[in-house]
Structure 1
């Protein structure tokens, strides 16, 4: 009659551990005293002396409970170890992916640096050597226009190098958050119009502005926000037909401002649209046309926008060109 209780003890011990197993032992004694003893009047029967034969079964039940509990503990430890192994494997996989991405970015940086630094340096060295040769041959009155042209080329290429270095410093500082934002109330409309006027004057392109009549006040770093607008406009100008129009639109939606810069450039494949925010990424069409640039402008824009707890994305279609949108909340979340 003790066999069912032993079986219950085994099951309880293997599944739930020592506590439930010992509980089944106590439950067996309780059930035996309540149901078996009164039924057979074992308390007054000589058979009560035969209960001593149950002692081995009771001891065996306790032993089974302890063994089952030990097995349960080992099973739980094995599960914990397996969980840790899965966690370590997942962390290792993430670390490997990060290392692969870092290695890929390093390779892109070296290739881009070799190309972009070589071009302006070649021009600077060439113009300097040409100017020196002219100076050695001609000791008379110098043609100021010729010399001016040489030095303008040198200055332009030096400014290109300076811009590249500044972009790298900005990207490094923003990515590591070593460059704090100077948050103040600023008028986004004024920032956009200032950037539009500067780029329109510098490039001669037509830029159409559409924004709210009243100031649009936002808690932001005005200098960084101006950098975002300028980079987006430059990007729209660089990758659109020469005489096409650039549209800059500023709206409000819900609890955020929405800035959109649109050009009439060729449609971008959906799989490329997110890649434009990766460091050093450039579209195959830009590479084919040998356009200058590191592919850092949109990456810097994204870092600035994310630091403002905003979002930036690209939409494109064959009939409607390319639009880069920026959404930044009015109130910074704590």
Structure 2
């Protein structure tokens, strides 16, 4: 059923890791935290009583890794399995959030699952971690999201009107050849545009968390959109040198406005997290039925631990360099949701101190 290693794999030994499980279980059960151990080669699975309960099993029932996976909501099951396989293969940490089917409750229960290897020794076969019920947190996030959406919608109407009046005044100032007023209105327009972008992001966050990102697909030239977004980014942050790598003209069938939002987010992030006048390169390549867009900067880079959580809602990498940079931690989450709705992929390749390259793909009909 699941793509896991098969064959004559060794069973889990009942040695020290399992003796210490009882002690850890006593401490963690009091905090309503479940613990588990998974053998990296045999995939034998040992859950604590609390872990069983969180997945909807009774204490006396058997629960294998497959049993736990089948409790995960259909839409998230493949992603959870892929995350576990990747963590084991790369000997890296695991962090996933997923809803599980709860037959005794009307709504699904949300779980946070964290795991990793206890040592960096590549011969270590014991992959273990904890599972926590985050249903209440998810419900609070949804209520907050609805509130943000309502407030943002009310703020957008007067700001749109303000933008129109500024444009009218700007046209009048140009006819009067009033250079001072033209310069002042240009700065006002820039700030209004910033505020509108922030409000649009909050509105889109509200829709994404409620599962209501609607796509209005149309055919358009991707290279043309990239040039428009670069011009817009340079209008707001003119201190950076943004270039486009040579490439073929590619037409895609996608939601132009939402892909534009992805590009704006990624380019503005590249500008925010890299020094002034440092180059930023955008590339667009076509390979068979896939379009790949990449944005490369030479900024501060991202640590491996932060990369794993970068596309989660409200997550921001907290370092000495980033604490002075404004942001809500929702831009990359929205990018991820938009690209996934287009059946594409988004990821980042980065190393601290050596810049970052954000990439996303879109299918080409």
TM-score band by shorter chain is 0.5 to 0.7
- The higher radius of gyration belongs to 1
Structure with more contact order per residue of length (Cα contacts < 8 Å, sep ≥ 6) = 1
Q: Distance in 2 between matches of 1:88 and 1:249?
A: 41
Corresponding position of 2:135:
99
Q: Distance in 2 between matches of 1:300 and 1:196?
A: 19
Change in 2 beyond 3 A, CA 1:243/1:287: closer
Q: Distance in 2 between matches of 1:175 and 1:107?
A: 10
Corresponding position of 1:174:
208
Taking the TM superposition and a 5 Å limit, the aligned residue runs for 1:179-258 are 179-204=213-238, 205-213=240-248, 215-258=249-292
Give per-residue Cα distances to partners, 1:81-104, cap 9 Å, x unaligned.
957998889645953534165278
SS in 2 for 1:290: coil
SS in 2 for 1:207: strand
The count of aligned residue pairs is 218
Change in 2 beyond 3 A, CA 1:279/1:292: same
Q: Distance in 2 between matches of 1:303 and 1:296?
A: 11
Corresponding position of 2:344:
310
Asked if structure 1 preserves the Cα contact closer than 8 Å seen for 2:282 and 2:293, the reply is yes
Taking the TM superposition and a 5 Å limit, the aligned residue runs for 1:133-172 are 161-172=195-206
Asked if structure 2 preserves the Cα contact closer than 8 Å seen for 1:175 and 1:303, the reply is no
Corresponding position of 1:294:
328
Q: Distance in 2 between matches of 1:238 and 1:263?
A: 10
Corresponding position of 2:358:
324
Asked if structure 1 preserves the Cα contact closer than 8 Å seen for 2:190 and 2:236, the reply is no
- Greater strand percent: which structure? 2
Taking the TM superposition and a 5 Å limit, the aligned residue runs for 1:13-52 are none
Name the TM-score, length of structure 2 as normaliser: 0.50
Gaps of 5+ in 2: 1-57, 73-99, 103-107, 112-132, 153-179
- Greater helix percent: which structure? 1
Asked if structure 2 preserves the Cα contact closer than 8 Å seen for 1:305 and 1:312, the reply is yes
Give per-residue Cα distances to partners, 1:61-116, cap 9 Å, x unaligned.
xxxxxxxxxxxxxxxxxx9x95799888964595353416527858998xxx9xxx
Q: Distance in 2 between matches of 1:187 and 1:200?
A: 20
